[in-house]
């Protein structure tokens, strides 16, 4: 990559990369360009890549080319975020199973606020809010059948 | 009458039937609990709140109807009212309507006469009616025998919308029952009237079936209903028995459907109806058939043989949960099929081979599945 490097323009103040991280997105802004977990230059994933094909930076001014440690930092940040996502996803699966179990045990449709109270009491480790319970049930129609607005029941077939 | 079956009526009912409510089969502990409850309600004048939880198909409604039947035989000491919780109540007014529509208005009319005889002034001014004086004229209109006025009065008492000013004038009332507070006031007045001046003191027993439906309501409606019931209950420290019934798979969930105030007022010992064991199922069928027997010929299981009933119970138990409803459903099917296949002159009991033959139909019970999560 270095043979294409033309050096930093003298009149340009080097801008510090600005990282941001949340549950849903992680990004690093370099020279006004956002590099995201699922949308980033190939050099973040592979040591060898064709910089001329890069959609993000021009090879002549690319800070990732100039500073390989920056690439390492971004990789580490993304790896950390993937781990967080995996943990979060596992926790969410556990929460869905818990909600499902409660609704199956109850055997009747319930308003999401009642399900939330049950889950809060019986599984305090999830620290759920009623709104989150609603969003999860709405997002998993295979598991939760919407009876009417805000009211759901387990869709699992008997004896399964 | 089924003379050849030695049965005075068809014993297998799947849907709760008020006429069938006189019958109690199996569950000796529950029967004992009901009798004890009946005694307690008559023994102490204080009001109480009871909770009845039942698993699916365990005979909750039949239990309430049976309790109503028992209350009806207390010589007026207990005035039972069986009401079903509205499916999609938006507030207490729907609950009020469900209760008010089942009140015994003929009896309330007689009670009104009793109040009138003991009071010299205008009835509307009696302290009993101060919270909802319109109730007096409405009951008088029902009692008058005038069909039109009676219907309007009933509509008014039930808080139904659509009554015009001229309707109100016809019944001589000046306001409508349209808020939860109006409903509580009217219900309080009606409760006071139902229990007025009886010796020994009478009690109004309100059985509210399917109360678990409150769990499907928005928090605002749920809170309003629970708070209104709590207010109504508090207004009657004596003379009221409130029974709330719940049907779902987990008894502990009752706590999530009641307000703290109601929970703290509920009697510590509720009534519960859970899945039957095989022995309980056999006792249930034995008791049931016994109650329809024309004469005792020593064959307790007739028109089945004892082995046939055992096979039937085993057959259900290996596939599904044993519930009174399911036992009735299968026994009904087997007995009907057997009768359809044989001539009416046959007097021998049904054998286990016959039972197995009749239940072998793969379509039988295909759609009768256990409620989700209720697998044994």
Contact B217, B209 (CB under 8 A): no
Contact A28, A76 (CB under 8 A): no
pLDDT of residue A22: 54
pLDDT of residue A18: 65
pLDDT of residue A10: 47
Query: Model ipTM?
Result: 0.84
Question: How many angstroms separate the CA atoms of B289 and B335, rounded?
Answer: 12
Q: Which of A129, A109, A145 is nearest to B214 (CA)?
A: A109
Contact B45, B238 (CB under 8 A): yes
pLDDT at A23 over 60: no
Question: How many angstroms separate the CA atoms of B81 and B21, rounded?
Answer: 14
Helix, coil or strand: residue A106: helix
User: Testing the interface with A: which of B213, B216, B319 to mutate, by most A Cβ within 10 A?
Assistant: B216
pLDDT of residue B268: 78
Q: What is the largest CA-CA distance in chain A?
A: 72
Cβ contacts of residue B310 below 8 Å, gap of 6+?
B282, B352
CB atoms within 10 A of CB B69: 17
Which residue of A lies nearest to B256 if distances are taken between CA atoms?
Answer: A114
pLDDT of residue A21: 58
Pairing of strands A110-111, A151-154: antiparallel
Neighbouring C-alpha atoms within 13 Å toward the C-beta of A156: 22
Q: What is the DSSP letter of B2?
A: B
What's the pLDDT band for A8 if we cut at 50, 70, 90?
A: very low
pLDDT of residue B3: 81
User: Testing the interface with B: which of A101, A107, A134 to mutate, by most B Cβ within 10 A?
Assistant: A107
Query: Highest-confidence range of A142-146, B318-322, B344-348, by mean pLDDT?
Result: A142-146
Question: How many angstroms separate the CA atoms of B201 and B44, rounded?
Answer: 10
What's the pLDDT band for B232 if we cut at 50, 70, 90?
A: very high
pLDDT at A112 over 70: yes
pLDDT of residue B214: 96
Chain B residues closer than 8 Å to A116 by CB: none
pLDDT of residue B262: 95
- Percent helix, strand, coil in chain B, to 5, is 50, 10, 35
Query: In residues, how long is chain B?
Result: 376
pLDDT of residue B16: 77
A103 shares contact with chain B (CB less than 8 Å): yes
pLDDT of residue B356: 86
DSSP string, A53-82: G-SS--GGG-HHHH-HHHHHHHHHHHHHHH
pLDDT of residue B58: 87
Taking an 8 Å cut-off on Cβ atoms, the answer to whether A106 and B248 are in contact is yes
Contact B225, B115 (CB under 8 A): no
Residue B200 CA from chain centroid, whole number: 25
What's the pLDDT band for B338 if we cut at 50, 70, 90?
A: confident
Neighbouring C-alpha atoms within 13 Å toward the C-beta of B265: 24
Question: How open is the CA angle B305-B303-B376, to the nearest 5 degrees?
Answer: 65
A154 shares contact with chain B (CB less than 8 Å): yes
Of A12-16, A27-31, B72-76, least confident by mean pLDDT is: A12-16
Cβ contacts of residue B323 below 8 Å, gap of 6+?
B55, B56, B57, B58, B59, B275, B276
Q: How far is CA A146 from CA A94, A99, A153, B327, in A?
A: 21, 14, 7, 32
pLDDT at A14 over 60: no
Of A81-95, B162-176, B263-277, B341-355, least confident by mean pLDDT is: B341-355
CA of B53 vs chain A CAs: smallest distance (Å): 12
Question: How many angstroms separate the CA atoms of A55 and A68, rounded?
Answer: 18
pLDDT at A12 over 60: no
pLDDT of residue B366: 66
User: Testing the interface with B: which of A98, A99, A102, A110 to mutate, by most B Cβ within 10 A?
Assistant: A110
pLDDT at B186 over 60: yes
Contact A81, A21 (CB under 8 A): yes
Chain B residues closer than 8 Å to A133 by CB: none
Across A72-89, b (16+ Cβ under 10 Å) vs e yields eebeebbeebeeeeeeee
pLDDT at A7 over 50: no
Give chain A's radius of gyration (CA, Å). 23
Q: What is the mean pLDDT of residues B90-102?
A: 96
The number of C-beta contacts closer than 8 angstroms across A and B is: 67
Which residue of B lies nearest to A108 if distances are taken between CA atoms?
Answer: B248
What's the pLDDT band for B374 if we cut at 50, 70, 90?
A: very low
Cβ contacts of residue A88 below 8 Å, gap of 6+?
A23
Q: For chain A, where are the alpha helices, taking DSSP H only?
A: 42-45, 63-66, 68-106, 112-122, 130-139
Q: What is the mean pLDDT of residues B188-210?
A: 92
What's the pLDDT band for A133 if we cut at 50, 70, 90?
A: very high
pLDDT of residue A20: 62
Q: For B59-211, where are the alpha helices, taking DSSP H only?
A: 60-72, 92-100, 105-117, 134-144, 147-157, 165-171, 180-194
pLDDT at B365 over 70: no
Of A11-25, A34-48, B182-196, B258-272, least confident by mean pLDDT is: A11-25
pLDDT at B149 over 90: yes
């Amino acid at each position: 990559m270095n043979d294409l490097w033309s050096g930093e323009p003298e009149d340009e103040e080097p801008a510090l990369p600005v990282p941001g991280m949340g549950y849903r997105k992680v990004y690093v802004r370099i020279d006004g360009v956002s590099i995201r977990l699922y949308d980033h230059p190939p050099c973040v994933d592979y040591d060898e890549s064709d910089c001329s094909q890069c959609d993000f930076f021009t090879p002549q001014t690319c800070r990732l080319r100039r500073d390989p440690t920056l690439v390492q930092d971004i990789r580490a940040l993304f790896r950390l975020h993937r781990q967080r996502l995996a943990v979060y996803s596992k926790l969410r699966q556990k929460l869905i199973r818990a909600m499902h179990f409660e609704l199956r045990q109850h055997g009747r449709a319930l308003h999401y606020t009642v399900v939330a109270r049950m889950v809060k009491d019986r599984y305090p480790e999830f620290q759920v809010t009623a709104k989150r319970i609603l969003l999860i049930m709405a997002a998993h129609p295979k598991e939760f059948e919407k009876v009417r607005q805000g009211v759901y029941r387990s869709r699992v077939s008997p004896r399964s | 009458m089924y003379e050849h079956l030695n049965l005075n009526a068809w014993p297998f009912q799947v849907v709760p039937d008020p006429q069938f409510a006189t019958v109690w089969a199996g569950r000796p502990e529950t029967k004992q609990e009901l009798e004890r409850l009946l005694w307690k309600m008559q023994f102490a004048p204080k009001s109480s709140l009871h909770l009845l939880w039942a698993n699916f198909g365990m005979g909750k409604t039949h239990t309430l109807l049976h309790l109503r039947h028992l209350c009806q035989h207390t010589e007026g000491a207990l005035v039972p009212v069986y009401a079903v919780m509205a499916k999609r109540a938006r507030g207490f007014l729907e609950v009020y309507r469900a209760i008010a529509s089942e009140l015994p208005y003929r009896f309330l009319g007689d009670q009104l006469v009793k109040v009138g005889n003991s009071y010299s002034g205008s009835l509307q001014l009696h302290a009993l009616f101060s919270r909802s004086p319109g109730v007096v004229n409405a009951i008088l209109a029902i009692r008058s025998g005038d069909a039109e006025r009676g219907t309007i009065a009933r509509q008014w008492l039930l808080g139904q919308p659509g009554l015009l000013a001229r309707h109100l004038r016809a019944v001589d009332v000046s306001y409508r029952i349209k808020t939860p507070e109006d409903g509580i006031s009217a219900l309080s007045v009606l409760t006071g009237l139902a229990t007025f001046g009886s010796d020994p003191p009478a009690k109004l027993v309100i059985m509210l079936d399917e109360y678990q439906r409150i769990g499907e309501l928005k928090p605002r409606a749920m809170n309003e209903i629970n708070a209104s019931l709590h207010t109504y209950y508090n207004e009657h420290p004596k003379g009221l028995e409130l029974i709330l019934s719940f049907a779902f798979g987990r008894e502990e969930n009752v706590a999530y459907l009641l307000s703290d105030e109601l929970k703290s007022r509920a009697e510590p010992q509720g009534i519960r109806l859970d899945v039957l064991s095989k022995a309980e199922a056999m006792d249930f069928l034995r008791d049931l058939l016994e109650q329809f027997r024309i004469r005792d010929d020593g064959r307790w299981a007739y028109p089945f043989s004892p082995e046939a009933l055992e096979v039937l119970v085993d057959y259900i138990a290996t596939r599904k949960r044993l519930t009174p409803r399911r036992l009735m459903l299968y026994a009904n099917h087997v007995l009907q099929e057997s009768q359809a296949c044989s001539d009416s002159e046959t007097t021998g009991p049904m054998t286990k081979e016959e039972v197995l033959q009749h239940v072998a139909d793969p379509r039988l019970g295909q759609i009768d599945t256990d409620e989700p999560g209720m697998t044994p």
